[in-house]
Structure 1
Amino acid sequence: MIGNSRAEYWFIRLCVAGLHCIAPVCILYTLLAFVPYGYRPTHYRFPIFIEAITIAETLFYLLIYLPYRYYLQRDAVHPPPPPREERKALFQLCNDNIADLEGYFQKWFLGADLKDVKRDNLKEFYLWAFFNRGGPPGDDDEELEEYITATEQMLGRPIEPGRGKAQAFRLTIDRVDMLHRSLIWYSCVGFVDLLTYVKLLYHGFHFHRTALSRFFTLFPFRPYSLFTSYRSPVKHITYWHRPHTSPTKLPILFIHGIGIGLYPYTNFLSELNSSTGVESSDPNDQVGIIAIEIMPVSFRLTHQPLSRQEMCDEISAIVSQHFPDQKFILASHSYGSVISTHLLKSPLAPQIGPVFLIDPVSILLHLPDVAFNFMRRKPKEANEYQLYYFASMDMGVAHTLARHFFWDENVIWKKDFHGRKVTVSLGAKDLIVNTAAVGRYLSAPLEGFERTLVRDVAGSNGKSPSDDGILINIEEDNGGVSTVGEREEAATLDEEEWKNREWKGSGIEVLWFKDLDHAQVFDKPCTRRRIIQALRRYCEDG
């Protein structure tokens, strides 16, 4: 993510304007040059190479982009709603983790005046949020009334009957907003993809392609995939693998975020076999790495996003091929934390050891910040324009988030870590995630409601269901607090204290970067080193 200087602002605005003008200019030139009179070479014509580009861009816009944009507006296929008791538990858990309820509703209703959020507006929002549907309340009206009564108690005032003019932000029901991408842009993506291939190959990674019959299902095409002898064991997911040769350390499964694929992570991946930034020379002491590629969020035209079950099944098959029956570290960045959430709730979970989440979007996902900042915020600063044009409005990204991103499936709570060692890396200037809220949540002891849920889950997983055993485990996962007096003392600490806690490699911990925006932790060796050292410690300690 770029900075917010004046020079960077004008640079990104010029880049966006230039890329966005390619299609209109090409279409206009093609119409003026060819349509009225047919092809007639004259002195004012561009060279044939340039004219070929204008024709290709025009045809791509008219024959590919416009039909594809229409096709991507199809309604989402929502998962079935959870049972009523689970819905009520989720509703309570969300309410327990909202610091500013009025601000919460104002952002979910796109900045509307709260007097315009009336009873029917709130029912419409709750139907989407907790019932995975739109339409009238129907048989769910009684339960919705319970939720609204609870909301009134929290607000300390009644909610007016009827419908106001406020419109709820319902990500998977609202229109899919996207912007055109030119063939020139996709050529740039293909070039960066080639650079990624060369760099990872140089650092000892092997590219695992899908079947050759799927070559034309991904654009830009990947011609180098025709020459690799390594084959992915699954239908959709491609990945990079570095063999695991260490007899004592844990391997790593890494899942990237929204962006141009694995290119921003190449230095990070190549340095994981060292805590100093220089790769280990011992061929028998290499930490194995699987770096999964998620193409629907990598600025490509490809297959639609996999469902939660499909994604977990394919990743499980990949892990089984390279880390059979072996515990591994699960590391992910940004959108990758959503897939991490699914894996932690899948049959693969027993194999997952420590978890490392970098700029995660799945923690406190009930808050409106991630969805609003990524999909609805009007850009003002340089980094916001970069996010808006290059990520939010990309066809694949927009469709993935607007039709395949179901928040109740993707959210993760502290209880879902089930006693694992967990590190979460956060940047204070993150333009997507409310990192201060996430950091406070992770650093605080579990509340009674979450503690009860953890006790229930722990009992079903073979751990002792007794209060004492589970509570000790929970407290150790939240900073080593184990007695009532220590818990009370921890609760009275300065709320900013957690930002400066020493990382110990135990429990749930936060690495706080006070000067970094989203994804900037990968940009410089000094910031990469902090997360690499923590990951290396997990590899060694397990």
Structure 2
Amino acid sequence: MIENTIPKYLFIRSVIIGFRAITPFSIFWVSFSIAEPPHTAWSRFLLGWSIAETAFWLLVYVPRKRSLQASAQHPPVLSREERKELFWRGWDKIPHPEYYLSRWFLGARPGEVRKENVREFFAWGLLNRGTESDEERRKRMQAYPEASQAEEEELNEYADGIETMLGRKLEPGWGSAKSLRLTTDAVTMSHRPFLWYMIVMLVDTFTAARLRYIGFTLFRTHLRSSLTIFPPRLASLATRHISSAPDLSYWYRPHTSRTRLPILFVHGIGIGLHPYVQWLGEINKHDPQAAQDGEVGIIAVEIMPISFRITSPILGRDEMCRQINMILERHGFDKVVLASHSYGSVLSNQLLHNTVTAPKIGPILFIDPVTFLLHLPDVAYNFTARQPRAANEHQLYYFASMDMMVAQTLARHFFWAQNILWKEDLRGRDVTVSLGGRDLIVDTETVGKYVNGVDLKGEDRRWKDNEWKGHGLETLWWPIADHAQVFERADSRAKLAEVLREYTTHKAEDDVE
């Protein structure tokens, strides 16, 4: 993320305004040229580009925006016992109750959130409801009176729990507040001009060249799958290696080490692997054991729907795990060190809860994870609902949150109850959680306290200075780092690479045990 300075603010706002102006200007120029045909080479070029931009908006964005509004396919509803356990498990991990309620209700004031609003919110969050009209609800209650009565009692229990947490009663009935319900709200996105996707293609080609230079090889998907990605990937034309996973491409650096584990890396939302190239190269470049033991292999999976491309929707949880497992089997890896950044922590969580892939996951490095304490509103609100003010917020909002496929991924394929990660899920593993003190998406103070077993409402800051030892559940704290900025600084990249190199040696310890 860019720094929050006045020059950076003016720069990012100018860039965004410029991109937003391209399509209206193109439509105007096409209309103007009908009345006054161009006479110079430059004006003819400008007309051709304007026609391309206008057609791209009209024939690609407009119909695709409509199709991406389709309803989410929710996972099966948890049992009543599982829902209640999930509610109460998160209930005592809410450090600021009024803030919690306000953010989930889009900044509403206390009097605007009443009991029925809270019941509606948990009907969505725990029962996967949200599109049901009053008439449909009435018919359902008449058709299934006993089940409906049980649900009403359950929702009342959740509302009572919120009242206890707040230390006050909720007013009866409906308030004016509207809750944030990602999977049922409209998918909010903004148009990207054709020029933007040409820039993405250029960056992708440059990234591919850099990855090839540091020893990685692209394993592309089959032609049919590759053709579903826009802009086209020129790097796919320069490789003969085909991914064993039908929908996942990846970059592979050969594993030649005789004693250590390979690494599996899953990136976050952004322009693919571009922000991570230097760090991925430094893992082996500064490895003191490489000369004697061989180099550590790295698989860097590409998740196209969160990489600013126009492509198919992101794979479901089980299919994602199945295809990543196919990649691991292709290279004969029965155990890996897992590293992930930001949204990649969600996919890491899915791998940890899959019966096939879980045994193959060794030590883990989470960098700027979004999956801890996901019942808190910060990640959902900051990424999808916050109105940007600072420079980094404008960068996040326009280039990430409002991207067509990113928005659709979060609104139709992101289920918080399925993706939340608890410390208990990591019991018995060596795990490092890297957190930035100025993260604009995650409440890293609260996550850090939770991971370190510190009172969430307390002022204990000693955990930030803990020395990293390489065993158990630990944190790395970067006090002035924003989201993803650890990859921009030499000291933080070096430490993260050191963590992974240490974790790869745990294979010998596991064999002894």
TM-score in terms of structure 2 length: 0.93
Counterpart of 2:62 in structure 1 is 66
Q: What code does the residue aligned with 2:436 have?
A: G
Within 5 Å, which residues of 2 pair with 1:504-523?
A: 504-523=469-488
Alignment partner of 1:201 is 2:212:
yes
CA contact (8 A) 2:371 2:419 kept: yes
2:61 and 2:191 in contact (8 A); partners too: yes
Q: Is residue 2:408 matched to residue 1:443?
A: no
Letter in 1 for 2:24: P
Residues 323 and 438 of structure 1: CA distance in aligned 2, closer, same or farther (over 3 Å): farther
Query: Which residue is equivalent to 1:53?
Result: 49
SS at match of 2:218: strand
- CA contact 2:336–2:362 (8 Å) conserved in 1: yes
Cα separation, partners in 2 of 1:303 and 1:524, compared to 1, 3 Å: same
- The 5 A counterparts of 1:81-480 are 81-134=77-130, 135=132, 138=141, 139=148, 140-275=151-286, 282=291, 285-325=294-334, 327-346=335-354, 347-444=356-453
Gaps of 5+ in 2: 142-147, 508-513
Count of residue pairs brought into register by the alignment: 491
Aligned partners of 1:48, 1:207: CA distance in 2, in Å?
A: 39
The whole-number CA distance in structure 1 between the counterparts of 2:458 and 2:11 is 44
Moved over 3 A (4+): 40-43, 279-284, 491-494
Kindly state the Cα deviation for residue 524 of structure 1 after the two structures are TM-superposed.
Answer: 1.8
**Could you tell me how far 1:41 is from its partner in structure 2?**
3.9
Of 150-159 and 219-228, the range deviating more from structure 2: 150-159
Deviation sequence 1:415-439 (CA, Å, 0-9, x none): 1113100000000000000000000
In structure 2, the partner of 1:5 is 5
Cα deviation for residue 155 of structure 1 reads 2.1
Q: 2:493 — aligned with what? A: 528
- Matching residue of 1:502: 467
Q: 8 Å contact 1:212–1:226 — kept in the other structure?
A: no
- Counterpart amino acid of 1:102? E
Cα distance in 1 between the residues matched to 2:460 and 2:39: 72
Amino acid at match of 2:447: V
The equivalent of 1:477 in structure 2 is: none
Other-structure match for 1:483 = none
Distance in 2 between residues matched to 1:12 and 1:122, nearest whole Å: 38
Q: How far 1:493 moved relative to its partner?
A: 9.6
Per mean C-alpha deviation after superposition, the further-off stretch among 525-534 and 127-136 is 127-136
Cα offset for 1:530? 1.0
Query: Contact 1:332/1:358 (CA < 8 Å) preserved in 2?
Result: yes
Give the whole-Å Cα distance in 2 for the aligned partners of 1:47 and 1:320.
55
Pick one of 504, 507, 510 that aligns with 1:539: 504
CA distance in 2, matches of 1:411, 1:427: 20
Separation in structure 2 between the aligned mates of residue 329 and residue 416 of structure 1, nearest angstrom: 16
Mapped partners of 2:171, 2:316: distance in 1: 39
Contact kept in structure 2, 1:78 and 1:133, CA below 8 Å: no
Structure 1 residue 335: Cα displacement: 0.4
SS of equivalent residue, structure 2 residue 442: coil
Matches of 2:207 and 2:433 in 1, distance apart? 26
Q: Work out the percentage of aligned pairs sharing the same amino acid.
A: 49
Distance between the aligned counterparts of 1:199 and 1:243, measured in 2?
Answer: 16
**Distance in 2 (alpha carbons) for counterparts of 1:280 and 1:415:** 33
CA contact under 8 A between 2:440 and 2:483: conserved in structure 1?
yes
AA paired with 2:338?
Answer: L
Any idea what the Cα deviations from partners look like across 1:382-404, whole Å, max 9, x if unmatched? 10110011101110111110111
Q: CA separation in 2, counterparts of 1:283 and 1:301? A: 44
- Asked whether the equivalents of residues 128 and 170 of structure 1 are also in contact (C-alpha less than 8 Å), the reply is yes
Structure 2 CA distance for aligned equivalents of residues 240 and 499 of structure 1: 34
Whether the 8 Å CA contact 2:38–2:44 is kept in 1: the answer is no
CA distance in 2, matches of 1:197, 1:425: 27
The one-letter amino acid paired with 1:54 is S
Contact 2:374–2:420, Cα closer than 8 Å, also in 1: yes
1:7-37 CA-to-partner distances (Å, cap 9, x unmatched) read: 1000001110111111100011101112x57
Contact persistence 1:256–1:262 (CA under 8 A) = yes
With over 3 angstroms needed to count, the CA separation of the structure-2 counterparts of 1:534 and 1:284, relative to structure 1, is: closer
2:30 corresponds to: 30
Alpha-carbon RMSD across the aligned residues, in angstroms, is: 1.8
Residues in 2 aligned to 1:14 and 1:265: alpha-carbon distance in whole angstroms:
26
1:470 aligned residue = none
- 8 Å contact from structure 2 (residues 284, 290) kept in 1: no
Give the AA of the match of 2:114.
Answer: K
> Which SS does the other structure have where 1:207 is aligned?
strand
What is the CA–CA distance in structure 2 between the aligned matches of 1:100 and 1:245, rounded to whole Å?
50
Structure 1 unaligned residues grouped into runs of 5+: 448-490
**1:315 Cα shift?**
0.5
Structure 1 residue 150, shift from structure 2 partner: 2.1
Determine helix, strand or coil for the equivalent of 2:299. Answer: strand
**TM (normalized to structure 1)?**
0.88
CA distance in 1, matches of 2:116, 2:20: 40
Is this contact kept in 1: 2:95–2:457, CA < 8 A? no
Q: Aligned partners of 1:283, 1:256: CA distance in 2, in Å?
A: 30
